[in-house]
Amino acid sequence: MSLSFLRTLAAASLMLFGSFEVSVSADRQTCRTIRLSDPGWVDVAVTNALASVLLNGLGYTVEISTQSLPVGYEMLKSGKVDVFLGNWMPAQRRFVDGLTRDGAVEVLTRNLVGAKLTLAVPDYVAKMGVKDFADLQEHADAFDRKIYGIDVGAAVNENIEEMIGAGRFGLGDWEVIASSEQGMLSQVERAERKERAIVFIGWAPHPMNERFNMTYLSGGDAFFGERSGGAEVFTLARSGWTEMCPNAAAFFRKLVFDVGMENVLMGKILDGEEATSAASSWLKRNPAIVESWLDGITTLNGASGVHAVKTVLAQ
């Protein structure tokens, strides 16, 4: 057959069968591997693990790229990452606004409500009179003018640096000590043993809320969001991916979490359990949630997604 004849036949098939068949075909051929981003945070390790176990049961392969948050967003923009489950808002607005303006990403769903992200202190520091951002400078020497943050380039660190640079709350000569999530929490643990003053980035969901007796500071809404750092988390996809992979995109739109669920799984991981193992065990114990997440979702080959995943989890 000539190439021109095959092109004519393909065009005729598209007109006859419609775009749905083409979309399913594209999903099967080009979406077998789904690439996720992980900035090295335990909460994203949890959500990535849950997604990976379910997607593997549906016949997909998942690749997770662990990069700093700015690099992860660049990879999403350039098409090297397909989906990111950790878009904390409003803390990451500066990243997302630019990508949205450029048409580089699509918001699939809000996957978590009731989250929180702002500065925190141990309860014994709060009893010293530090309960608001405006109280920090009065105790500057006790804090050694340091705020302990997470990884370099994290949006929340940049929010604090912007606050310091603007001289807000009299903190113009303070500094952010950037570290990893675990590095920061180790500093909190050491300070707590000696009841030394420390201010750090706190958030929920996270087992730190059970591990430490801590107080979230009020007064930072302009930098961390209303309701003393109230936050929501969204799932983002690179531009064009949802049209190419409609079944996988539908799966991510249904994949929503709650604070209690993430707290439990994050605790398992911090206690040393491997993320995928913790996720698999949790999914086996919660079949109703699995069914709700997979309602209407098929495997890569078009079979029942619920049946396929339940079969895999039962093994």
Residue finishing a domain among 193, 210, 230: 230
Residues 188 and 216 in one domain: yes
Q: Where does the pLDDT of residue 15 fall: very low under 50, low under 70, confident under 90, or very high at 90 and above?
A: very low
Is a pLDDT exceeding 50 seen at residue 189? yes
Is a pLDDT exceeding 80 seen at residue 25? no
Measured distance CA(223)–CA(180) in Å, rounded: 21
In a domain, 1, yes or no: no
pLDDT at residue number 16: 36
For residue 122, what is the domain's CATH number? 3.40.190.100
Backbone angles phi, psi at 45, to 5 degrees: -60, -40
Which pLDDT tens digit goes with each residue over 197-256?
Answer: 999 999 999 999 989 999 999 999 988 888 888 999 999 999 999 999 999 999 999 999
**Is residue 70 within 8 Å of 55, Cβ to Cβ?**
no
Percentage, residues of the chain above pLDDT 70: 91
**Is residue 217 within 8 Å of 228, Cβ to Cβ?**
yes
Residues 54 and 129 in one domain: no
106: enclosing H helix or E strand: strand 105-122
274: enclosing H helix or E strand: none
Tokens of 84: 């990111």
Minimum mean pLDDT among 92-96, 170-174, 261-265: which range? Answer: 92-96
What integer best gives the mean pLDDT of the chain?
Answer: 90
End-to-end CA distance of the chain: give it in Å, rounded: 48
Residues 63 and 123 in one domain: no
Q: Where does the pLDDT of residue 99 fall: very low under 50, low under 70, confident under 90, or very high at 90 and above?
A: very high
For residue 108, what is the domain's CATH number? 3.40.190.10
Which pLDDT tens digit goes with each residue over 299-311?
Answer: 999 999 999 999 9
Side-chain-side CA neighbours of 137 within 13 Å: the count stands at 10
**Is residue 42 within 8 Å of 181, Cβ to Cβ?**
yes
Write the CB contacts of 217 (distance below 8 Å, at least 6 apart in sequence). 118, 119, 120, 121, 130, 131, 132, 133, 135, 136, 199, 228
Residues 295 and 263 in one domain: yes
- The DSSP line for 181-232 is HHHHHHHHHHHHHTT----EEEEESSTHHHHS-EEEPBS-HHHH-HHHHEEE
In a domain, 9, yes or no: no
In a domain, 5, yes or no: no
Residue range of the domain that includes 154: 116-230
In a domain, 7, yes or no: no
Measured distance CA(243)–CA(289) in Å, rounded: 26
Measured distance CA(289)–CA(302) in Å, rounded: 21
In a domain, 274, yes or no: yes
Is a pLDDT exceeding 60 seen at residue 7? no
Residue finishing a domain among 230, 262, 281: 230
Among residues 165, 184, 181, which one has the least CA distance to residue 173?
A: 165
Residue finishing a domain among 230, 246, 273: 230
Q: At what angle do helices 275-285 and 42-57 cross, to 10 degrees?
A: 60
Q: Say which DSSP state 311 is in.
A: H
Q: Is the pTM for the entire model greater than 0.75?
A: yes
